[in-house]
Structure 1
């Protein structure tokens, strides 16, 4: 059995990767040339949807490799464990994954309902256009923010992400969170995101009911008195 070398998480760069053998080596970042590389098996990567490549920056823990004849052929006695790409959120708990899936599905249903309403009420098309446009913008911003997190560039302010969600982009934001595994862990961010979702839904329903250009409420009253 491998013996834990340290609970500390390290940062390093993948310097070799063999796709056929599904393994490679990581060079600890900030170390001198005499420091050993770390063995990286594919099974240690927690994001299985992404193909590793030379130059990727990863964050990992280490264990000492068991001393066996086969393992002695490796150039290092240290193996990387619980490996995440820099900028990736750690794997979310099962409850969080269900929440992400729920909101992504809710966003799709919400846009579909708006599209269906547009077929009946032409005046509501600007609301659908706003939701679709801001959803695309949200997805782009989430993707850009994750890229910035991975490369150390300036991040997209959280306030910007929340405003885009509130203005109608939350369906795209919810889908981006699930697909990119980004912004799924920080409790304060998620609480604010959920608030923007429900507030936008409430405002959208109010717009459909009371805006003169749509006037669902007026139409219902007219039908009742007709």
Structure 2
């Protein structure tokens, strides 16, 4: 029996079907609902996260298009996570090499660093997941500054994984700029520690010299 006509603005989808065909260049495709094909257009997604794939599960409301033909409306992509690519994991591993080596040179046990980074990364990943769910529900979001503070404290590997698995915050250029700035800061601190903090001392001296010059000009 065909499902009853649903109001187009219903907030919560009630039906589930899988994508059987999708034309990315045209922005539409079809779902397999019972024994019928149901049309779905990109504009009928309540939130767009990524290009649908064949076999992907979609939740939707039953509706009618302009010509009174049955179609899916207020669609939501059920799958919230993506598979991590090997290249991404290799790059993450490469970014962890320098901080791990610098930590080892301090003489501290490696398990302390691993435990700390893993714990903070799990917290950061959970924060990303919570923020994405709140975004879908139009609820009060986690401030971006709080996410950056978690990354700065050492949870950036968890943020790296969360951005790629959850497809969250990965397309915002301004956010990504600060995220990569934090990663570069961790790499710089690790490198500088191996150089006996030479560059930090140079920066400190340059700042003091600039302040001294400013004071001299103000007195003059």
8 Å Cα contact 2:102/2:193 also seen in 1: no
The answer to whether residue 94 in structure 2 is matched with residue 109 in structure 1 is yes
The answer to whether residue 13 in structure 2 is matched with residue 14 in structure 1 is yes
Equivalence for 1:52: 58
Structure 1 unaligned segments of length 5 or more: list them: 1-9, 26-38, 66-75, 89-99, 212-226
The change in CA–CA distance for 1:81 and 1:13 in structure 2 (over 3 A counts) is closer
TM score, norm. by length of structure 2:
0.54
Match of 2:135 among 142, 149, 152: 149
Q: What is the RMSD computed on CA atoms of the aligned residues?
A: 4.4
**Alignment deviations for residues 110-161 of structure 1 (CA, whole Å, 9 cap, x no partner):** 3356556767764163444433332222211111111111223321110011
In the alignment of these two chains, the number of paired residues is 162
Distance 2:193 2:74 in 1: 48
Equivalence for 1:77: 69
8 Å Cα contact 2:121/2:156 also seen in 1: yes
The change in CA–CA distance for 1:80 and 1:152 in structure 2 (over 3 A counts) is same
TM score, norm. by length of structure 1:
0.52
8 Å Cα contact 2:124/2:158 also seen in 1: yes
Match of 2:154 among 145, 168, 175: 168
- For the residue of structure 2 that corresponds to 1:210, the secondary structure is coil
Structure 2 unaligned segments of length 5 or more: list them: 1-8, 21-30, 198-220
Equivalence for 1:95: none
Match of 1:158 among 137, 144, 162: 144
